[in-house]
Structure 1
Amino acid sequence: MDRGTTDRTLLSPERRRADRTRLIDGVVDVLVIGGGVTGAGAALDAASRGLSVGLLEARDWAAGTSSRSSKLIHGGLRYLEQLAFPLVHEALQERSRLVTTIAPHLVRPLPFLLPLTSPVWQRAYYGAGVALYDALGAALTADRGVPTHRHLSRRAALAEFPGLRRDAIRGAIRYWDAQVDDARHTLAVVRTAAGLGAAALSSARVTALLRDGGDDAAPVVGVRVADLTDGSSFVVRARSVVAATGVWSDDVGEMLGDAAPSLRVRASKGVHLVVPRDAIDGGEFARGASGGVATAGGPDEQRPGLILRTPTSVLFVIPWGEQWIVGTTDTPWRLDRDHPAASSADIGYLLGQVNRVLTRPLTPDRIIGVYAGLRPLLAGEADQTSRLSREHAVVTPAPGLVLVAGGKYTTYRVMAADAVDAATEGLPGVPESRTAQLPLVGAHRWNAVKDAAPDLAAAAGLPEDTVARLLQRHGDQVGAVLALAASDPELARPLPGAPAHLAAEVVHAVTAEGALHLDDVLTRRTRVSITTPHRGTESARAVAELMRGVLGWDDERTDREVAHYEARVAAERESQRMPDDRTADAARLGAPDVRAAV
């Protein structure tokens, strides 16, 4: 990517001010509400078609569901049992595109073991399912991006995952899916859209829909926005509005009054635990399948994960850098949607399920981090959220307004294209979606830099593993972070309490990645909030001081950011000691969102 294009993708404070002015002064073809992966994808899809685009997010990019997923790009192996073949095929097509073209620096193949616990019939049954899964994944192209499955004996399975109880398995099937850094991927989608001309504003909450007339049949012609950086309000006008607001979809529908859509979205809570690498003996698996992609332990090392059947759904044990992610739950949630809380019951359930197969049980004291997210599921007749549809829907409840809801992270691009198709149906000369082969920021020169960690580290005077991690986060944009580190020795130092991150990454988060608050950096630009035992409190002051230097915070603002973050961590810890959803929610609400202070 040339330097000019790179500059246009920067989400700097100056860019935000310019984008706000642009939105106030003009009329955009497509205005997208919601800065999760689907909304970001819709903005990118529209911008890549040559349309003028605005993108509004009430909090931070990926602040909701899109930063709290299982970090997987997958077809949904369990959906084969529901005979959802088109859904699985579509998701596997998207997996291939993401791994090979769209975001290979952020989406990487990952092996999983499916333990077999019953006699021969189970191997035949599951084996047929996994074979079909591979076949559906290969139907798009010979370059599927991931290897095919393999049957393992009990001895072979234990060799690959020594921590499994011998008496708990009779063998396993190893198959492949892919892993994603969800928050950074969503951010890359936003930046790519910005590079194509989209005006992108976070901390911009839509408070009302504008109608061209006084009745419920009047078309939607824009929105009213509250700017949460300064408390001001402004209007954005648009030829079409796309609401990609996930579990907040019903809120947008209610703005329509009597014309509210029949589409309803239900929230399902998914809780994940993060534990250190040595808490689970997952072994090592090195077979060169990564294509040279640098992973946590080396260029070709692939620690396998686990997929376990539970009474209601499935449970994943997923390698994540120097940690494991264990999840997820799947339960209805009807409380605060901004900050869903994990209870002690959620944590106990996950520990109980995973400990059924581990030789060394996980105990609560080994948990480093906990996070909870909400899946937006299309409401149906089933009471159990685990049985609700993972398909998506696009509806037009009023002229000028399109609602897209449901789906799963993996198929965000398809959802986005469908939404933009609906939004531009009346606009002449709009081309079809162009995003199927469009690389995101960081992916354009990935093949040229993915193996360059030794040379880049030597040139920068940094440890090779540090640069390898930077490559995984930033792809071919790693040079921007290394340039910051070279400009100031203080920026080349590791963060206090988070040695896997450089101070330069904090400055880059503000100047290039749209971070406006301490929470944005510690929770989404990095994952310090879930990958360190202190959950970011030991890093908060140093990170705030770095942000202060870029954003011009005074002492009071800096102290307030640190105090808020510490209160948030304390509230989360307290919620995780509560016995149920209601008490956990009440404890978590003890620390309100930092943007509410404006």
Structure 2
Amino acid sequence: MSRTHLSPERRRADRAALADGVVDVLVVGGGVTGAGAALDAASRGLSVGLVEARDWAAGTSSRSSKLIHGGLRYLEQLAFPLVREALHERARLVQTIAPHLVRPLSFLLPLTAPAWQRAYYGAGVALYDVLSSALDAERVVPSHRHLSRRATLAAFPALRPDAVVGAIRYWDAQVDDARHTLAVVRTAAGYGARALSSARVTGLLRDGDGSSAPVVGVRVSDLTDGSAFTVRARSVVAATGVWSDDIGAMLGGSAPSLRVRASKGVHLVVPRSAIDVGDVPDGERSGLILRTPTSVLFVIPWGAQWLIGTTDTPWKLDRDHPAASSADIGYLLDQVNRVLSTPVTADQVVGVYAGLRPLLAGEADQTSRLSREHAVVTPVPGLVLVAGGKYTTYRVMAADAVDAATAGLPGVPPSRTAHLPLVGAHRWDAVEGRAAELAAASGLPEDAVDRLLHRHGDQVTEVLALVRADPALGRPLPGAPAHLAAEVVHAVTAEGALHLDDVLTRRTRVSIATPHRGTESAPAVAELMAGPLGWDADRIEREIAHYGARVAAERESQRMPDDHTADAARLGAPDVRSAV
């Protein structure tokens, strides 16, 4: 079995090892920054533990705009170092780190005013290209182009002809955020990191009394069976995003900590037909970036669908399950319909998701004006807190956090993750473009194998091996024809899925990509998971019931008029892990 497999057996072994030993670095938080810190430390040769209260990428890291980008709008804020850093990370991800999961994507920046706008925005986009050029010498991400009004409407026929006078086409990149975070976790496991999801930190171990006593480990509750254990570490890195205040509260006293504010971002998923761009192939569609009164709005191609987002509003309610209200949905539809010839209607919305951005608190009243830079602090010896930043710069955040955590350890080499391919990327050149050949050998449709390639990279052979061993696993999932039964088995045996929600929401995107939001697929998926996880009939029934309740609560929250009523409706369905 591959060292990167997050199997049930691997989880049991990792739990036993963490409870019995001492690690150099223990990372708390299984989002992209925490996963990145675990990989950074493990690839330096350190012993590493990684614990996550729910599932990998269960929070912010599965609910983003799915973009790897420099942040074009930050140029207006003169945040040139931030943009340059993010663009360099974009180049690394596209070229080396995860080319199977991160792909270039073009955007149109529509122009609505005469020449001054073309000159002003054109200068900004030109600077964007210049800042990205140092590490993108091969021009994997193309340079920008100016388009006339006619060319703009040809590239995006759904635009209202009277809404644009032209456009600038520029390039960024797109990522499947949950699968990318999972690949980071698996790569860290391949370097020896002990990784446990469903493992909630409940307290800090201190060497002595008082608020300045060093941290020497953590107390953990195993949410798979309700047991508790401790993990000792020479240094603890907390990469907990909008939950950073919880770690600060565990310190007690007046120890300094990070101040993080949560900003809610809501996205809509609509079918391709809702924004009709004619016969442009799915892989060649451009997105849109639009100015709004408070921020920017993206219309992003997402497979055979579109993502529309995002909002940017303060959120002070439940952080585990942020809720989208009807006001959020209405706002997004109103904004996008300002430029479309045929409005998108609420009944065309297939999926909705809401995530929370962890922003470093400042003086600004609006979250859209808070810093997207990150901070690393050491409030007491043995504990490092890292927060802020953006998905694109996770690797830099992780390296900075590990540098701080290992400052007192002799002989620790520098970070090496800038040139480290993730699981699925090592032999990407050998499998990219081989969908037809692999399909012929496996008996699967070519389009199905092509989708597998862009989810699993060179690990596609593992999924296809499951189909060869059991041809029944080559069948599409009920209600989700874009996914195969084999992907469910692989999610459990190699990708650490422990619950039905883990598979339908993060290993696949059935929960946001289908009108039924996964309820039609849930029974078949639960049956497939039952074997490798040892579920009996009662457990299968409970998992299906929990998932159905979650979907119903989300639908109800999206009918509510504001944050407070939406939050109350969403909390009507408890997290499946709280039932243990």
Range class of TM-score, shorter chain: over 0.9
Q: Which amino acid aligns with 1:155?
A: R
Deviations 1:322-379 (A, max 9, x none): 1100000000000000000000000000000000000010000100000000000000
CA distance in 1, matches of 2:140, 2:253: 48
User: Out of 362, 377, 395, which is 1:413 matched to?
Assistant: 395
Query: Does 576-585 or 546-555 show the bigger shift?
Result: 546-555
TM-score by length of 1: 0.96
8 Å CA contact retained: 1:285, 1:304: no
CA distance in 2, matches of 1:472, 1:246: 28
User: Out of 506, 510, 524, which is 1:528 matched to?
Assistant: 510
Aligned pairs (5 A) from 1:230-245:
230-245=225-240
2:446 maps to 464
Deviations 1:569-589 (A, max 9, x none): 000000000000000000000
2:555 maps to 573
Tell me the secondary structure at the aligned position of residue 516 of structure 2. coil
Kindly indicate whether residue 213 of structure 2 is the aligned counterpart of residue 218 of structure 1: yes
Q: CA deviation at 1:285?
A: 5.4
Aligned pairs (5 A) from 1:531-570:
531-570=513-552
Q: CA deviation at 1:57?
A: 0.2
CA distance in 2, matches of 1:220, 1:101: 36
Tell me the secondary structure at the aligned position of residue 258 of structure 1. coil
Q: Which amino acid aligns with 1:332?
A: P
CA distance in 2, matches of 1:594, 1:192: 27
User: Out of 89, 104, 123, which is 1:94 matched to?
Assistant: 89
2:125 maps to 130
1:510 maps to 492
Consecutive unaligned residues of structure 1, counting only runs of 5 or more, are: 287-296
Q: Which amino acid aligns with 1:56?
A: V
CA distance in 1, matches of 2:218, 2:517: 37
CA distance in 2, matches of 1:535, 1:60: 19
8 Å CA contact retained: 2:212, 2:255: no
8 Å CA contact retained: 1:283, 1:303: no
Deviations 1:34-81 (A, max 9, x none): 000000000000000000000000000000000000000000000000
Deviations 1:378-417 (A, max 9, x none): 0000010000000000000010000000000000000000
User: Out of 36, 41, 66, which is 1:41 matched to?
Assistant: 36
CA distance in 2, matches of 1:253, 1:591: 28
Tell me the secondary structure at the aligned position of residue 516 of structure 1. coil
8 Å CA contact retained: 2:214, 2:381: yes
Q: CA deviation at 1:144?
A: 4.2
Deviations 1:412-462 (A, max 9, x none): 000000000000000000000000000000000101101110000000000
1:481 maps to 463
1:362 maps to 344
Tell me the secondary structure at the aligned position of residue 255 of structure 1. helix
Q: Which amino acid aligns with 1:375?
A: R
Query: Does 480-489 or 305-314 show the bigger shift?
Result: 480-489
8 Å CA contact retained: 1:259, 1:398: no
1:145 maps to 140
User: Out of 321, 324, 328, which is 2:310 matched to?
Assistant: 328
8 Å CA contact retained: 1:377, 1:385: yes
1:496 maps to 478
User: Out of 2, 11, 20, which is 1:25 matched to?
Assistant: 20
Q: CA deviation at 1:131?
A: 0.1
CA distance in 1, matches of 2:527, 2:254: 48
User: Out of 336, 345, 355, which is 1:373 matched to?
Assistant: 355
CA distance in 1, matches of 2:277, 2:399: 39
Q: CA deviation at 1:143?
A: 2.4
Kindly indicate whether residue 288 of structure 2 is the aligned counterpart of residue 306 of structure 1: yes
Q: CA deviation at 1:259?
A: 3.7
CA distance in 2, matches of 1:238, 1:185: 27
1:120 maps to 115
Two-structure CA RMSD over aligned residues (Å): 0.8
1:260 maps to 255
8 Å CA contact retained: 1:160, 1:283: no
Kindly indicate whether residue 181 of structure 2 is the aligned counterpart of residue 176 of structure 1: no
CA distance in 1, matches of 2:374, 2:322: 22
8 Å CA contact retained: 1:38, 1:413: yes
Give the 3 Å change call, closer, same or farther, for CA 387–275 of structure 1 in structure 2.
same
User: Out of 59, 78, 100, which is 1:83 matched to?
Assistant: 78
Tell me the secondary structure at the aligned position of residue 428 of structure 1. coil
Query: Does 571-580 or 144-153 show the bigger shift?
Result: 144-153
CA distance in 2, matches of 1:77, 1:137: 11
TM-score by length of 2: 0.99
Deviations 1:144-192 (A, max 9, x none): 4200000000000000000000000000000000000000000000000
Q: CA deviation at 1:549?
A: 1.4
CA distance in 2, matches of 1:437, 1:530: 33
8 Å CA contact retained: 1:33, 1:242: yes
Tell me the secondary structure at the aligned position of residue 105 of structure 1. coil
Q: Which amino acid aligns with 2:192?
A: G
CA distance in 1, matches of 2:41, 2:140: 27
Consecutive unaligned residues of structure 2, counting only runs of 5 or more, are: none
Q: CA deviation at 1:303?
A: 0.4
1:58 maps to 53
8 Å CA contact retained: 1:90, 1:411: yes
Q: How many residues align?
A: 580
CA distance in 1, matches of 2:160, 2:249: 52
Aligned pairs (5 A) from 1:581-596:
581-596=563-578
8 Å CA contact retained: 1:282, 1:304: no
Q: CA deviation at 1:284?
A: 5.5
8 Å CA contact retained: 2:149, 2:165: yes
Q: CA deviation at 1:140?
A: 2.7
Kindly indicate whether residue 237 of structure 2 is the aligned counterpart of residue 248 of structure 1: no
